Structure 1
Amino acid sequence: MSESPPKNTLLYAGIDGGGTKCQVTLTDSNLKPLASARGGPANPYQDMATAKHAIETTLAAALDKAGLNRSAMSQVVIGMGLAGVNIREIHQAMCAWQLPCAKHFVTTDMHIANTAAHSAPNGAVIVIGTGTSGFCEVDGRTLSLGGHGYPLGDKGSGCWLGISAIQATLLAEDKLGPKTQLAPMVLEALQARTSLDLVAKLNNAKQRDFAALAPLVFSAAENEDAVAKNIIREGAEYLAGLAQRLLDFGAPRISAIGGLSKKMLPNIKSDLAQKFQPALEAPEMGAAIFARKQFKAMLSDPK
């Protein structure tokens, strides 16, 4: 049976939204987790309507799991860490969104990931998932790298790996590039018979559709396919450069998160890879911490 929290009792919700999923953790006023839920893609830069729908439905699912009425949303302070809001217009649009909650605050997925990864304010994080990005904070100074999105950037990401596999397949099929195990694997995965058939099937593909092909690259590489190994090597070199820039900025600690972090980190040169340390909390908890900090700051300085 659903209940309502006592009046004047605040709850916090942390949201980690990206190109593949929306992860929500609902907490009490002391940031003790009450329930978590997972939903669909929540990158407003890619698709604003889809992102908002994912956020709304995943928040509702978290309330349900916590045994709370949907009306309890009015007592929830929300922190959103979203991919794509590093673009100013997207950030402004999400901040202006009218939600039936106590208050909501918006920042990047990189920011909340960094908050969650380290017990101290100073540190750096690299996100390796559907996209890639880097963020560092040192004594109040911040540095953001990457996060440029498909089709302009996100090298080393799931989306980039998938696109690279498709490009290698098309070259191999046209006999303009080296033979690769990726060609039959990609054609089979997308149920395509020819290059033109493959192109047609990808006509309306999203980032997540390309990222779904990333496991094929790792599978082919494990089977000593030279093309697949070169793709991974190129992505790892970019991620190594990203990490070095963050460390040069003065980060005392660096972590990597995201669905592909465990796959890509072993491919980064060992002297750099060994500097990575595990994240202390999940990104959505970083978003909840961010929400409480921003809300308390607003109350102390309402302007």
Structure 2
Amino acid sequence: MVTMTDTGTQAPALLAADCGGTTCRVALFDAGGALLGTGISGPANITLGGPALMQSLMSATGTALKQAGIKDYPLENLALSAGIAGLVTDAARTTLRDLSHPFRHLVAHTDAATALLGAHDGGDGAILITGTGSCGFGLQEGAFFSIGGWGPKISDQGSGARLGMSAARRALKGAEDIMPATPYTRAVMAELGGSAEAAYLWAETATPADFAALAPLTFDFARRRDVVALTLLGQIADDIEQMIEALKSRSCQRISHLGGLAAPIAPFLSAEVRALLSPPMGDALQGAKRMYENRLWDVENIRNAP
């Protein structure tokens, strides 16, 4: 039986969420899978804590309900299916299982899992995500696997953070006449404060995102044919190709390259590697919907309401 709201709109049944470190996006679907409304709010990484996660989710959900023209809808009628950044440790999973929430049913996996399910419409395949960090994620016969994603100090090859770290090191070598300076290395040094001491102090507190912020400068100078910028991007492209080949070696037939670095680095990848890539079929919100339909979640919390 189709349930309607008091405004005549078909009632929402599923809230799909993409809970990231910067934004939380949600999409509201009825029982037939039709999209009713969307919403967006602030950070929703589980490492921020359960209350912060719920605050962002509730704000985005309110926007989605408003867009759908629905007022005062009982959230206990909704199932929530979420891809959540940071849901990679036992402590984070425990936090989510114990979380008080107003929904009928809360299920979740990592945001990489929902991005994967969206990219391949719920089917087997793999993704390589290259942004501030990087990781490979795959699904084969109902089982997920991952490679990389352990932070830029020991992992995250082919990422913006690793590119920025290489840029800072090479710029310092140029400033100290260890290697030849170029317009690019001088521009990087200017971003780091203009001196070796300033660069050292900057690096002491710099986050992966701070290092990744040097990536656009690298692409800018590569377009000007600066030899150092081109060399660093070539190294990053080699790292990305290695990750793609690793995913291919696991018999992944569909591989999609996602993330902020995916489009700008594409011209630096070999034609052979580009031929291995498939365009994503959908996004992480569609992946969260697929996760619920295909029962592929990692964490479940059935109405642990306040």
Q: Distance in 2 between matches of 1:143 and 1:218?
A: 32
1:247-276: per-residue Cα shift (whole Å, max 9, x none)? Answer: 221112111122221112332221121121
> Taking structure 1 as reference, are residues 290 and 227 closer, same or farther at Cα in structure 2, changes over 3 Å only?
same
- Counterpart of 2:278 in structure 1 is 277
Using the size of structure 2 for normalisation, the TM-score is 0.81
- 1:230 CA drift (Å): 2.3
- 1:293 CA drift (Å): 3.7
In structure 1, the gaps of 5 or more residues are none
Of 25-34 and 251-260, more deviation after overlay is shown by 25-34
Q: Distance in 2 between matches of 1:177 and 1:244?
A: 32
- Counterpart of 1:256 in structure 2 is 257
Q: Distance in 2 between matches of 1:164 and 1:4?
A: 58
- 2:233 pairs with 1:240: no
Q: Distance in 1 between matches of 2:265 and 2:51?
A: 29
- Counterpart of 1:43 in structure 2 is 45
- 1:150 CA drift (Å): 4.0
1:82-139: per-residue Cα shift (whole Å, max 9, x none)? Answer: 3332333223323332222222212122211221112462111111222211112222
Alignment of 1:2-17 (within 5 A): 9-17=11-19
SS state at 2:46 partner? coil
Of 207-216 and 248-257, more deviation after overlay is shown by 207-216
Which amino acid in the other structure matches residue 76 of structure 1? L
Identity %: 27
Q: Distance in 1 between matches of 2:6 and 2:132?
A: 37
- Counterpart of 2:130 in structure 1 is 128
- Counterpart of 1:294 in structure 2 is 295
Task: Please tell me whether the aligned partners of residues 44 and 50 of structure 1 are also in contact (alpha carbons under 8 angstroms).
Answer: no
Within the candidate set 72, 75, 89, 1:73 is matched to: 75
Which amino acid in the other structure matches residue 183 of structure 1? T
Could you say what the CA RMSD is over the residues aligned between the two structures, in angstroms?
3.2
Q: Distance in 2 between matches of 1:226 and 1:215?
A: 16
- Counterpart of 1:88 in structure 2 is 90
Task: Please tell me whether the aligned partners of residues 4 and 71 of structure 1 are also in contact (alpha carbons under 8 angstroms).
Answer: no
Using the size of structure 1 for normalisation, the TM-score is 0.82
Which amino acid in the other structure matches residue 195 of structure 1? A
- Counterpart of 2:159 in structure 1 is 157
Which amino acid in the other structure matches residue 125 of structure 1? I
Q: Distance in 2 between matches of 1:205 and 1:59?
A: 34
Task: State how many pairs are aligned.
Answer: 294
In structure 2, the gaps of 5 or more residues are 301-306
Q: Distance in 1 between matches of 2:163 and 2:69?
A: 41
